[in-house]
A and B are shown apart, each in its own frame.
Chain A
Amino acid sequence: MSDGIVKLDGVQKYYTMGKVHIKALDGVSLDIAKGSFTSISGPSGAGKSTLLHIIGCLDAPTAGRVRINGKDMGAMKDTELTRFRKRSIGFVFQFFNLVPTLTAKENVLLPKMFDRDKDGERADRLLRIVGMEHRADHRPNELSGGERQRVAIARALINNPPIILADEPTGNLDSETSLDIISLFKKLNEGGRTVILVTHERDIARFADKSIALRDGKVDGRPSG
C-alpha cells in the first residue's frame, strides 16, 4: 500500500439540492497504485464523476482524507491545489472540452497559456504521439470525435503529469474509435503514468488492471484485478 499514488480514506461527499440531501460518496476508501490502470465503473448517479473530481482536486470532500502523490489535499490552499493539479493531473473529458476557437495545437497548449515557455515543440511531439500531427492547425469543428479526444489527451499530457484522469473518455465515440482511444491510454499507462478512467462500458473496463465498482456512493465489493 505504500506505493499508492492515490489514497482515499473514508471520503464522503454530500450535496444539498434545494431541500434534498444527496450522498454522492458515502465513505469511499481507495488505494490506487502508482503506474496502475484503474477503471471506475458503476451505474449513473453512483458517484463516479464526483470521485474523479475529488481525486483531481476539483472538488473537496465533505469528510475523509485524500492523499495524492503523498500530499494531503485537505491541507492545501486553493492556489496550491491549482498548481498541484496543473503539474500532477491531466484531465480527459467525455465531451472533449476543446476550445472551439483554437486549433488542435493551441488547445494542446491551453494549460500553458499563461506560461512564459509555451513549449510548442512538446505540443508537436504530443500531437505526433496521439497521431494528430497532420491536424495540428485544424479547429475542433473540423475534427472527428476520435480526433478531438486525441487532441484532448495530448492537452492532458502537456505538463507531463504522472496521473491521467479520464471521465467517460469513450462515452461519445463509436466502438472502433473507443478501442483506439483506450489503446492510447494503455500506451500512456505502459509509459509509467497512472491512469484512472471512469466508464460504464464493460468492454472498456476490462483494459484496466484494476476495476472499482461504485454503487450509491460506496465501493461495491473489493477492487478486482
Chain B
Amino acid sequence: MVKRFGVRNYISRNIRRRSLRSGITIVGISICIAFFILFASISQGLKDDILEEIEERRAEIARQRAGYITIMNIDPFNMDFFNSTELEQVEDLVEDYCIAQNTSGEVFPLALNFLEPTDPNSDAIYILFGVDPEKGIKYDFIDFDAESVSLNGTFLSTDSERQVILGNGLWEKNYPASGLGDAIDLQTLSFVTGESIAIENVTISGIMDSNPLYDQFAAVPIEFLLEEVGLYDPVTGEYQYFLASIYIDDASKIDFDELEAGIKDITGISDRGIDDNENYINRIILEHEAEIARQEEMERTVNGWLLAVILLLSIITIVGISNTMLMSVTERRREIGTLKAVGIARSRVYQIILSEALLLVLIALVIGGLSGGLISIYFGMQYEAGAGGLFFAPTSLSPFVVSYVVAISLVVGLLAALYPAWRAANLNPTEALRYE
C-alpha cells in the first residue's frame, strides 16, 4: 500500500510520464547550464585576475602615497656607469641599512623601467637606456645574466636628438635597405615602455653588433628619453636624471641624510646628484591609475560578454521549458479540468506547473552543473599548463559562481513556466473536461 501520497509524487510522475520529452528537455537545459557554468567560471577567472591586478596596483598606489616612500634619484652623468660594482654596492648599502632599521628597501635601476622584454623573441622594440658620448652607458642586466654591455655602434653626440642606434636584428628585419643617416619611422612599431613615447621620424645614427640581448632593441639619446618621459623640465631647462630608484617600505625609520651620505661615499657624486622626486611618484601613481582604469574597462567587457551569454542561454532555456510545459498542459487539459472539478485551487494548479518546470531545471542543474563544472576544471588545468588555443583563460568555480548559476537557472525555469502555468490555471474547466 502507498504510505504517502502528495503533490510531490504527482509532479515527479508527471515528469516521468513523458520520459522521452522530459529527457530531451533536460538534456537541452543541461547543455545550456553546462555552458553557463563554463562561461561563468571563465569570466570569474578573468575577473579574479583583473581584480588581483587592480588590487596590486591599488596597494602600490597606497604604498607610494603612504608616508615617505620615496625614490632617490642619482644623476647618471655623475656616476661611473662602467663600474658595475657601484650599483651593486648601492644596492647592498640600501638593503643592509634598511634591515638594520627594521624595514626593507629595494633599488630599482632606471634601466629596468624600460628594459623588460617579457618575451625576447617578440617583435616589440624595447628602448635601451640613454646614450651619452662622453660617459658611455651602464646597464644592469640582472635579468639577462650579463653584468655590463657596451655598444659597438656609432655613439651619438650630445645634440643628436631624435637619433637612434638600432639593434642589429631590428635593422635587418625592418630596415634592411637603409643605413646610417637614414630617417625611419619608429612610430609605426609599437614601443613597449613604461608609457607610450612618441617617436616619429628618427635618424639611424648607429647599428649595434648582432647580439641576442639587444637585437630587438633600439637605443635613443638620453636627452630625448628624459624629455619624452617627463624627466626634463622645459621651463627650467633642468633634467631630473636618475639611475636608480630606491624604495623604502617604511620611510619613517630611515635617516635619509645618513643614507645619502652612504650613497655619496660609494658613488662619489655631489648633493645635486641625489634627490627625491615627488614628480616621479606622481607619475608612477598616474601609470597605475591608468592601468587600473584599463583593467576596470576589461572587467566591464567581461561582464558584458557574460551578460550576453546569460541572456542567450536564458532565451534558449525559456523556449525549451515553455515548449515542453505548454505541450504538457495542452495534453493534460482534461486532467487539469478534473483537478479543478475536484476542488484544487487555481493557485495550486500554478504551483503544480511551476514545480514541474523547477524539477526539470533541478535535474538539469545536477547534470549540467556537474558536467559544466568538470569541463571548467579541465579548462582551468589546461590553462594552467599553458595549453593555449581553446584554453585561453583561467577558470574559477567559486561558491559565488555556483550560487548565481543555480539562482539564475531557477529564476529562468520559473519565468519559462509562468505562461504555461497561467494557461493551466486559467483553463476553463468545462471546456477542459469536454476536451478529448
Interface residues of A (CB under 8 A from B): 49-50, 53, 56, 58-59, 78-79, 82-83, 85-87, 89, 91, 93, 95, 97, 99-103, 105-106, 109-111, 113-114, 118, 120, 124, 136-137, 155-156, 159
Contacts and interface: CB of A to CB of B under 8 A. Distances in A.
A78 B426 CA distance: 11
B225 to A, nearest CB: 81
A155 B335 CA distance: 14
A116 B97 CA distance: 79
A5 to B, nearest CB: 18
Contacts of A50: 430
A93 to B, nearest CB: 7
B9 A53 contact: no
Interface in B342-357: 342-346, 348
B2 A82 contact: no
A56 B1 contact: no
Given A82-B340, A111-B343, A155-B342, A97 B1 contact: no
Nearest to B334: A97
15 contacts: A85-B341, A85-B342, A91-B342, A93-B338, A93-B341, A97-B338, A101-B14, A106-B2, A106-B9, A113-B344, A114-B6, A120-B1, A137-B1, A137-B2, A156-B342
Contacts of B338: 91, 93, 97, 99, 110
Contact of B335 (A53, A56, A83, A97): A97
Contacts of B6: 113-114, 118
B434 interface: yes
Contacts, number: 102
B283 interface: no
Interface of B: 1-7, 9-10, 13-14, 16-17, 334-335, 337-346, 348, 428-430, 433-434
B16 A101 contact: yes
A101 B17 contact: yes
Contacts of A91: 338, 341-342
B7 A114 contact: yes
A59 B428 CA distance: 8
Contacts of A49: 430, 434
Contacts of A124: 1
B89 to A, nearest CB: 86
Contacts of A101: 10, 13-14, 16-17
Given A100-B17, A136-B1, A137-B1, A58 B7 contact: no
B341 A58 contact: yes
B13 A102 contact: yes
Nearest to A110: B342
Given A53-B430, A56-B341, A58-B430, A113 B10 contact: yes
Ranked 5 nearest A-B pairs via Cβ: A86-B343, A101-B13, A111-B342, A97-B338, A91-B341
Given A97-B341, A105-B1, A120-B1, 12 more contacts: A53-B429, A59-B429, A86-B343, A97-B433, A99-B338, A100-B17, A101-B10, A105-B2, A113-B7, A137-B2, A155-B342, A159-B343
B5 A113 contact: yes
Contacts of B337: 97
B257 to A, nearest CB: 85
B5 A109 contact: yes
Contacts of A78: 346
Contact of B10 (A58, A59, A87, A99): A99
A125 to B, nearest CB: 13
A23 to B, nearest CB: 16
Contact of B346 (A59, A82, A155): A82
A106 B2 CA distance: 8
A168 B3 CA distance: 33
B424 to A, nearest CB: 14
Contacts of B344: 82, 86, 110-111, 113-114
A82 B345 contact: yes
Nearest to B352: A113
B340 A58 contact: yes
Contacts of A53: 429-430, 433
A118 B340 contact: no
Nearest to A24: B430
A209 B337 CA distance: 30
A50 B338 CA distance: 15
